[in-house]
Amino acid sequence: MGLGFDIAHMLAGLMVLASLLLLYQDRLTALINVLRLHGFILALAVAWQAHIQSAPELFVSAAIALLVKALVIPGALDRIVERLGIHRNVETVGGIGLTMFAGMALVALSLRVMLPVTAAADPVSRQDIALALSVVLIGLLIMVTRRNALGQVAGFLSLENGIDLAAAGARGMPLVVELSVAFSVLIAFIVIGIFLFRIRERFDTIDLAALESFRGERR
Amino acid sequence: MMGAVAIEALQMAFVLLAAPGLVGIVRAVEARFLRREGPPLIQPYRQLARLLGKEVVLAHNASWLFRTAPYLILALTWVAASVVPTFSTHIVFARLGDLIVITALLGAARFVLALAGLDIGTSFGGIGASREVMFASLAEPAMLMIVVTLAITAGSTQLSSIAAFMLSPVLGLRISLALALVALVIVALAENGRIPVDNPATHLELTMVHEAMVLEYSGRHLAMIELAAALKLLLMISLIVCIFFPFGLGGTGAAGFLLGLASYAAKLGIAAVLLGIFEVSLAKMRVFRVPELLGAGLMLGLLATLLLYVSRSL
Amino acid sequence: MIPVLLAGTAVLLALALAGAVMKGPGRALYAAASLVAFLSACLALISLPARPETLVLPLGLPWLGWHFRLDPLSALFLFVVDLGAAASSLFAIGYGRHEADPGRVLPFFPLFLASLQLVVLAADAFSFLFSWELMSLASWALVLAQHRDRESIRAGYVYLVMAVLSGLALLLCFGLLASAAGSYAFAAMRLAHPAPGLAVLALLLALIGAGAKAGLVPLHAWLPLAHPAAPSQVSALMSGVMTKVAVYAFLRIAFGLLPVPPGWAGLLVLALGGITSVLGVLYALMQHDLKRLLAYHTVENIGIIFIGIGLAMVFRAAGGEEAAAALALTAALFHVLNHSLFKSLLFFGAGAVDRATGTRDMERGGGLIHRMPQTAFFFLIGCAAISALPPLNGFVSEWLTFQAILLGPGLPAWGPKIIIPVAGALLALAASLAAACFVKAFGITFLGRPRSREAAEAAETDSFSLSAMGVLATLCFLAGIFPAAVINAFAPVSHALLGVAMPAQSHLPWGTIIPVAAARSSYDGSAIFLLILAVTVLAIAGARRLAAHAVRRAPAWDCGFPDPHPVTQYTASSFAEPIRRVFGPVLFGAASIVRMPPPGATAPAQIRSVLHDRLWELFYDPLATGVARLAEAANHLQFLTIRRYLFFVFAALVMLLFSLALFQ
């Protein structure tokens, strides 16, 4: 326990904070910027794990995270927003206080669940995994509360970042798995991106309410 | 014991005398950044002197509460400031109360001020008072969540103990404390009505809060209120400095006190400059965005507490 | 001591009989009741540190007798009861002359006082429940004193339903306890060891029974209806004292009669307390009827008391944390005393305003600080005390509760670690909202310009009412600046319930209190008060010396646009608007409907705010419709032939026998 733990803890905590910021943010461009920050912190956290675990292959993961999640995907999202002409859109999120409180409750829940279960593990991975679970849960919460397809994409990506964080903390997840996860995210992202344009072409909006009413769903 | 009393008296005199100067520095920095000449640093003192020399114009239906409120507000703020260790942890009044007591004393001052705002029965007084209590209803819980974070970390709510803990080497690097610092800055901005929460430099604007409450005051009453406002700004800065940057605070002996005094003055100056820069680079928020900002402060406090559970004590 | 106390109760019962035949406002009756209550309060205070004593009278059930017991817990609550009773009787000496129909108040008021004393002294289930129901019925009769008022009738009806629920829950609770003990006497229950499941069930029933009487959310709905409907001296008793008797019932059962309950039960009480405190104060903020605002505030304060009790239960269950449990319990008891003082004071003030202006509606008040200066001053002290402002008493108990909360994260279990800080956030939220609420209550009613002719012509109330308020305000002040004495006085209670008490505070200089350790936290009420006083005097003297003395009276400045009409002032609703806008949409489904006519149109612009009582809609309405449906379905049973009825009786008998055969 020392500086190594402190920095790992701080980076993981910052990821939770960035997730909560994503939950709070209602402007699309700012949302993407927070997502970029999220990816950047992830890269730092993974790199720090590589350093304290002396696991060089994790540096590769960190580089992938930096490249894909902090640079490529947010950049692409920026372009999508620009091309769709929705960069000034403000998404109305109903009841921000309640959503934030739910986010905090999820953090508390994941600590409550994870810490007793992992009592035997070493503190660095314990706190990493507990906080990673909260990042994942908040990502899900973002996907549930957002009405805008782009917001849902942001939630999905932050969720994936959380999984990455857990993998980095839990020593010994093979690089192959890591690579394939990253690849699948990229694929998913491309698919989503294409869908966004298709949805937009068809309904003239990417507000999911249009899709729901098209399917005859009740809100 | 006598030494401690002397230090306490020195501190109480110092904070009262330094407070207007602090406001002067903030205004000068802002003026420079706006490429204005700006008033001289002693302008706040001159203004107080001028107000003291003027006659008091009281509304016809002002009650005794309206006339005593300025003195009470000043007294409550000053007493709160006397409990904060500013340049030495060896002050006698430190045991009178902890961080919660300081928060409550400021709350009492706000209670009196809001009542004074309602006393004349004008719409401006009402708008100021109702908004002030709305801000406070979120700022105070945020403050207490910060207290919880500090109490878990340092095992105390007593400011001198917290400062001593922060100086000790077991501290390490903790994200919870960073979150608590951000939350405390948000609370301090709201408590003092600074940008982005309120604009201390406006009049006749519907969004004003503090200035709307004190609109009917004049002469020596207004001087007391302005002095109390300046003192409150100094108090909140002293709190932040004492909790998060307590360097030079623990010294004993004449040299130690001189060092403490010098570092305190330097810290106040730096804080004033930072506040000035912060204020010119930001716009005032819409009133109903402020609860979101304060709510964020509250959430940061809660998150800081939660994250503490996975920190070193794990 | 018990026989003397019972003699006092007997005098009160005799006064109730006298009240039934009395004519006139009954000043002598109130004076006698006040004297009796005051004497019993003194006796209770003396016997607080004394050894428990018991007495059995050959009354009640023949084989059981009527058990009385005076131990520290009952002595403390007897003191609270009698102090409130003495003050409200004193208030009523002057206030009673306004009563339109004193025959509807005079017999029941002493009866109510007597029943309150009997509940606290009872030491067996029968006498407890008998006194409890007597208390409910007497107060119900007092709620219906203004029986021609539609609101009162509804209030009385809802109150009766909830009182029955509360009595039923307590009856079942005592039934469970008695089945384990084999006797209805508390002494036997204390020695019994009920099965864990049974004990938890009994605890939950006690929580429902006492919670419904105290006003714990969601069982609070009757309270803001019933408390304001009664005459003000009774409102003060119901809010300030009767809710405390409910707290007593819960403490007696949870700490006195049951084995140590599991930790989650404490967390449940804690969570309910936190939710109750915040919801209570938010509801209070939305009111513009002064007495109803105060009644909702009682809900908030009950929440704070239950936060303390819940913490004490959590610490007690954790094992090895008895000192923390003693701190939390002392904080709760301190708040019990405080709330009985300032809530009675505030209800007296509201009653005086009601009589002076003829309305409880704050929107028709204003400017009363000029017409009723003494009432205003005492009411202001009450407002500051209930808003937890130092150096008054409300702050001390909330500060102690907070100190107990800060010990929560040190517990090893994860549930308390997370829930206790959240409860702390709720407590802080409730406290700051309470300050907002009382700025509104005092500011709109007493400050500003009069909004109605009645308010402009109001006159100061009588000297008996004023002296009752003055006594309570003084006590609020004294308890605030000498908290150490109060904490030390509570030590026997904590000893009796937990085996330990907070460290003695008396050896400390001034009035310093140190709940845990000096390096952790301390508070010195008297020094803070003296310092504030000294600095205020210094500031005034300084201004006298340095500043110009001239004072000129002039019209209000108001940014150069003074509007002489008092309608332009902020009202109670407009004062609460910012807070309604922040908290309302989620909690109350609040919405503002603005109708703005187009430019040039002559129609007036309108704004209407809509609030939903979500708890009422989600909890009570479905219950009421369910009961109505059931009744509807059972209705046609009334129109059957005699043969069918016989069949039902026969079928029931066979079913009974059958089940007997099955389970034997």
Instruction: Give the whole-angstrom CA distance, residue B230 versus residue B223.
Output: 11
Among residues C134, C119, C219, the alpha carbon closest in space to that of C169 is found at C219
Evaluate the omega torsion of the peptide bond into residue C218 and state whether it is cis, within 30 degrees of 0: yes
CA distance C613 to chain B (A): 21
**pLDDT band at residue A198 using 50, 70 and 90 as cut-offs:** low
**pLDDT band at residue A140 using 50, 70 and 90 as cut-offs:** confident
Question: What is the largest distance, in Å, between two alpha-carbon atoms of chain A?
Answer: 57
- Give the strand pairing for C606-610 and C591-595: antiparallel
Q: Give C119-176 pLDDT, tens digit per residue.
A: 999 999 999 999 999 999 999 999 998 877 888 899 999 999 999 999 999 999 999 9
Q: Give A89-100 pLDDT, tens digit per residue.
A: 666 555 677 888
Question: Cα A107 to chain center, whole Å?
Answer: 14
List, in order, residues 6 or more apart from C307 with CB less than 8 Å away: C270, C273, C274, C277, C332, C401, C405, C423, C426, C427
**Nearest residue on chain A to C415, alpha-carbon basis:** A112
CA distance C607 to chain A (A): 23
| Nearest residue, CB atoms, A112 vs list C414, C585, C586 | C414
List, in order, residues 6 or more apart from C354 with CB less than 8 Å away: C232, C290, C291, C360
**pLDDT band at residue A219 using 50, 70 and 90 as cut-offs:** very low
What's the pLDDT at C639? 78
User: For residue A84, what is the enclosing H or E element?
Assistant: helix A73-84
What's the pLDDT at A213? 64
- Whether A115 sits inside 8 A of B172 (CB atoms) is no
Q: What is the mean pLDDT of residues A113-123?
A: 80
What's the pLDDT at C602? 86
B312 at A interface, C-beta within 8 A = yes
Is the model's pLDDT at C489 over the cut of 70?
yes
What's the pLDDT at C426? 94
SS (HEC) of C210-253: HHHHHCCCCCCCCHHHHHHHCCHHHHHHHHHHHHHHHHHHHHHH
Instruction: Give the whole-angstrom CA distance, residue C362 versus residue C552.
Output: 31
Instruction: Give the whole-angstrom CA distance, residue C554 versus residue C456.
Output: 20
Instruction: Give the whole-angstrom CA distance, residue A108 versus residue C409.
Output: 13
The tokens for A73 are 């995907």
User: Quick one: C400 exposed, middle or buried, by C-beta within 10 A (0-12, 13-18, 19+)?
Assistant: buried
Q: Which amino acid is located at C154 in the chain?
A: R
Is the model's pLDDT at B102 over the cut of 70?
yes
DSSP string of A26-67, one letter each residue: -BHHHHHHHHHHHHHHHHHHHHHHHHHHT-HHHHHHHHHIII
| Nearest residue, CB atoms, A104 vs list B291, B299, B314 | B299
What is the pLDDT of chain C when averaged over all its residues?
91
Q: Which amino acid is located at C549 in the chain?
A: H
Q: Are C82 and C37 in contact (CB under 8 A)?
A: yes
- Whether C547 sits inside 8 A of B220 (CB atoms) is yes
Q: Give B143-168 pLDDT, tens digit per residue.
A: 999 999 999 988 899 998 898 888 88
Q: Give C491-503 pLDDT, tens digit per residue.
A: 999 999 998 888 8
Residue labelled with tokens 């009774």: C234
Q: What is the mean pLDDT of residues C220-249?
A: 93
What's the pLDDT at A114? 84
Core vs surface per residue C198-237: b (16+ CB within 10 A) or e? ebbebbbbbbbbbbbbbbbbbbbbbbbbbbbbbbbbbbbb
Evaluate the omega torsion of the peptide bond into residue C3 and state whether it is cis, within 30 degrees of 0: no
Instruction: Give the whole-angstrom CA distance, residue B230 versus residue B228.
Output: 5
What's the pLDDT at C33? 95
- The values of phi and psi at residue B202, to 5°, are -100, 160
Find chain B residues with C-beta within 8 A of C539's C-beta: 71, 74-75, 78, 224
pTM of the model: 0.92
ipTM of the complex: 0.95
The tokens for B251 are 């010294």
What's the pLDDT at A111? 87
Which residues partner with C591 through β-bridges? C610
Q: What is the mean pLDDT of residues B66-82?
A: 95
| Nearest residue, CB atoms, A112 vs list C418, C582, C586 | C418
What is the pLDDT of chain A when averaged over all its residues?
79
CA distance C593 to chain A (A): 18
What percent of chain C clears pLDDT 90, i.e. is strictly above it? 64
Let me know the angle formed at the C-alpha of C37 by C33 and C40, rounded to the nearest 5 degrees. 145
User: Quick one: A216 exposed, middle or buried, by C-beta within 10 A (0-12, 13-18, 19+)?
Assistant: exposed
Q: What is the mean pLDDT of residues C188-209?
A: 92
Q: Give C162-175 pLDDT, tens digit per residue.
A: 999 999 999 999 99
Q: What is the mean pLDDT of residues C446-456?
A: 92
What's the pLDDT at C234? 94
More confident: A203 or C644 = C644
**pLDDT band at residue C99 using 50, 70 and 90 as cut-offs:** confident
Find chain A residues with C-beta within 8 A of B180's C-beta: none
Q: Are B126 and C575 in contact (CB under 8 A)?
A: yes
The tokens for A72 are 């490529």
Q: Which amino acid is located at A200 in the chain?
A: R
Would you give the DSSP letter of residue C320? S
Among residues C233, C272, C243, the alpha carbon closest in space to that of C77 is found at C243
Instruction: Give the torsion sign (CA, B119, B122, B126, B127).
Output: negative
Find chain C residues with C-beta within 8 A of B145's C-beta: 421, 424-425, 428
- Whether A112 sits inside 8 A of C585 (CB atoms) is no
DSSP string of C601-628, one letter each residue: --SPPEEEEE---HHIIIIIHHHHHHHH
DSSP string of C378-443, one letter each residue: HHHHHHHHHTT-TTSHHHHHHHHHHHHHHHGGGSSSHHHHHHHHHHHHHHHHHHHHHHHHHHHHHH
- SS percent in chain C: helix, strand, coil, step 5: 75, 5, 20
Q: Are A17 and A135 in contact (CB under 8 A)?
A: no
**Nearest residue on chain B to C571, alpha-carbon basis:** B126
Instruction: Give the whole-angstrom CA distance, residue A28 versus residue A150.
Output: 8
Q: Give B280-309 pLDDT, tens digit per residue.
A: 998 888 888 888 889 889 999 999 998 888
Among residues B83, B302, B206, C21, the alpha carbon closest in space to that of A16 is found at B302
Is the model's pLDDT at B250 over the cut of 80?
no
Evaluate the omega torsion of the peptide bond into residue B196 and state whether it is cis, within 30 degrees of 0: yes
CA distance C586 to chain A (A): 7
Q: Which of A101-115, A133-147, C65-79, C490-504 shows the highest mean pLDDT?
A: C65-79
Q: What is the mean pLDDT of residues A26-47?
A: 90
Interface of A with B (CB under 8 A): 1-3, 5-7, 9-10, 13-14, 16-17, 20, 24, 96-97, 100-101, 103-104, 107-108, 111, 115, 123, 126-127, 130-131
Q: What is the mean pLDDT of residues C571-575?
A: 91
DSSP string of C8-50, one letter each residue: HHHHHHHHHHHHHH--SS-HHHHHHHHHHHHHHHHHHHHHSSS
What's the pLDDT at A200? 66
Instruction: Give the whole-angstrom CA distance, residue B259 versus residue B180.
Output: 27
Estimate the crossing angle of helix C196-214 against helix C290-318, to 10 degrees: 160
Residue labelled with tokens 């300032």: C342
- Which of A55-59, B51-55, C364-368, C400-404 shows the lowest per-residue confidence on average (mean pLDDT)? A55-59
Q: Which amino acid is located at C657 in the chain?
A: L
